[in-house]
Structure 1
Amino acid sequence: MKLLQFTDIHLTTPGQTIADRDPNANFERALNHALSHHSDAEAVVITGDLSDWGERDDYVRLKARLKTVPMPVHLCIGNHDDRSVLLSVFPELADENGHVQGIFPLSQGVGITIDTWGPETHAGHFCDVRARWLDKQLSCAEGPVYLFMHHNPVPMGIEPMDRIMQRDADLLARTLKPHAGKIQHLFHGHCHLPLSGSFCGIPFSAPRGTNHAGWPDFAATKVFSSSDLPESYAVAQLFKHGVMVHMVEYGYAGDIRSEGSPDYAQWDRLTMVR
Structure 2
Amino acid sequence: MKLLQLTDIHLTKPGETIGGREPNQNLQAALTHALSHHPDADGLMITGDLSDWGDKADYERLKDTLNGLDLPVHLCIGNHDERDVFLSVFPDKADDNGFVQAVVDLPVGTGLLLDTWGPDSHAGFYCETRQSWLDDTLSEVVGPVFLFMHHNPVPIGIAPMDKIMLQDADAFGQIVEKHATKIRHIFHGHCHLPLSGSLYGVPFSAPRGTNHAGWPDFGNEGNLSASDLPESYAVILADESSVMVHMVEYGYQGEIRREGSPDYADWNRLTMVR
Task: Name the TM-score class by shorter chain.
Answer: over 0.9
Q: Which residue of 1 aligns with 2:14?
A: 14
1:69-121, CA deviations, whole angstroms, 9 ceiling, x for partnerless residues?
11010000100000010011111111110011101001211100011011000
Structure-2-length-normalised TM-score: 0.99
Over aligned residue pairs, what C-alpha RMSD do you find? 0.7
- Check conservation: 2:124, 2:165, Cα contact below 8 A: yes
Structure 1 residue 135, shift from structure 2 partner: 1.1
Structure 1 residue 176, shift from structure 2 partner: 1.8
Counterpart amino acid of residue 231 in structure 2: E
1:194-214, CA deviations, whole angstroms, 9 ceiling, x for partnerless residues?
000001211000000000000
2-side partners of 1:261 and 1:165: how far apart?
44
Counterpart amino acid of residue 74 in structure 1: H
Q: Which residue of 1 aligns with 2:31?
A: 31
Q: Which residue of 1 aligns with 2:125?
A: 125
1-side partners of 2:267 and 2:240: how far apart?
32
Structure-1-length-normalised TM-score: 0.99
Structure 1 residue 240, shift from structure 2 partner: 2.2
SS in 2 for 1:180: coil
2-side partners of 1:13 and 1:49: how far apart?
14
2-side partners of 1:93 and 1:177: how far apart?
27
Counterpart amino acid of residue 232 in structure 1: S
Matches within 5 A, 1:251-262: 251-262=251-262
- Check conservation: 2:10, 2:50, Cα contact below 8 A: yes
Q: Which residue of 2 aligns with 1:44?
A: 44
1:138-175, CA deviations, whole angstroms, 9 ceiling, x for partnerless residues?
11111111100000011111111110011110110112
Q: Which residue of 1 aligns with 2:225?
A: 225
2:66 equivalent to 1:66:
yes
Q: Which residue of 2 aligns with 1:153?
A: 153
Q: Which residue of 1 aligns with 2:180?
A: 180
Q: Which runs of 4+ in 1 moved over 6 A?
A: none
Structure 1 residue 67, shift from structure 2 partner: 0.6
For structure 2, which runs of at least 5 residues remain unmatched after alignment?
A: none
1:15-64, CA deviations, whole angstroms, 9 ceiling, x for partnerless residues?
11101100000000000111101111110000000000000000001011
Q: Which residue of 2 aligns with 1:190?
A: 190
SS in 2 for 1:205: strand
Between Structure 1 and Structure 2, how many residues are aligned? 274
1:178-227, CA deviations, whole angstroms, 9 ceiling, x for partnerless residues?
21101110000000010000012110000000000000000001111111
Structure 1 residue 137, shift from structure 2 partner: 1.2
- Check conservation: 2:108, 2:239, Cα contact below 8 A: no
For structure 1, which runs of at least 5 residues remain unmatched after alignment?
A: none
2-side partners of 1:154 and 1:135: how far apart?
19
Counterpart amino acid of residue 22 in structure 1: E
2-side partners of 1:200 and 1:44: how far apart?
27
Identity of aligned residues (%): 65
Counterpart amino acid of residue 200 in structure 1: Y
2-side partners of 1:163 and 1:69: how far apart?
36
1-side partners of 2:48 and 2:125: how far apart?
14
1-side partners of 2:161 and 2:273: how far apart?
40
Structure 1 residue 134, shift from structure 2 partner: 0.8
2-side partners of 1:204 and 1:221: how far apart?
25
1-side partners of 2:108 and 2:241: how far apart?
12
Q: Which residue of 1 aligns with 2:83?
A: 83
